[in-house]
Amino acid sequence: MVLMLLLSGMLIMAFNIQAIQAETEQTPTDWCWPTGKVDLEGLLGFMEWNQAYNGWHLGHDFKLDQSMPVYALADGEVVLSRTDVEGYGLDRTPGGALVARFKASTGEYFTALYGHIDNPHAEGKVEAGQILGYINEYGHLHFGIHQGYELAENPWKGYTYNESETYGWVDPVQFLLTNTAPAIPEITSFLILPLFMLATLLATIICKKNSENNPPD
């Protein structure tokens, strides 16, 4: 019985992973797009000038309707999560944002900033393609990447006022397109059928033994 429960749990996990991956489109380098789909045009790109803020942009803005979900790039960990970060609400009011840490296939760590979101995911482990929050009334996702394991001095920083200083922030789109995500075990492709067959065989054996031990009156 314990073995049956274990096998059932593995099957459920495999199907859940398959369902999560199906909801999000992936980059050619196997990351899940933060908005769940390919959208390279966005609104404001990395180091583009924003007259309204009088500064250069340290992220990439992806246009997305309010209440649409945003996703984890890969398996990782939310290390900061707040609902009152200055500038991430409508009209520069406080709003939701989070910072998640991920690792590339090379072993290089980086942190990703998701800004302008409601219901930011709590701090803790997340899986590839997992929903991290929902776009707020701002109507776009501010997405930034800071290289290294350690957090940026200001992990919520969205602009620089010195064009030659990016404070460790890099072009997030180019980073995702030139760095490969860690491989995800393909259990859905080579384990589901054998596990299902084994579970069926065990169920048949158990039913047969129960019938032998409990003959009809």
* Domain ranges for the chain: 1-27+186-217, 31-178
CA distances (Å), 172 to each of 18, 31, 62, 177, in order?
26, 12, 11, 9
DSSP, collapsed to helix, strand or coil, labels residue 103 as strand
* Domain 31-178, architecture per CATH: Distorted Sandwich (2.70)
pLDDT of amino acid 186: 47
Best CA proximity match to 111, nearest among 69, 70, 74: 74
pTM for the model: 0.78
Mean pLDDT split into 10-residue runs, the chain, 217 residues: 44 41 83 89 90 95 95 98 96 96 97 98 98 96 97 98 97 97 62 51 59 57
Tokens encoding 104: 């590339």
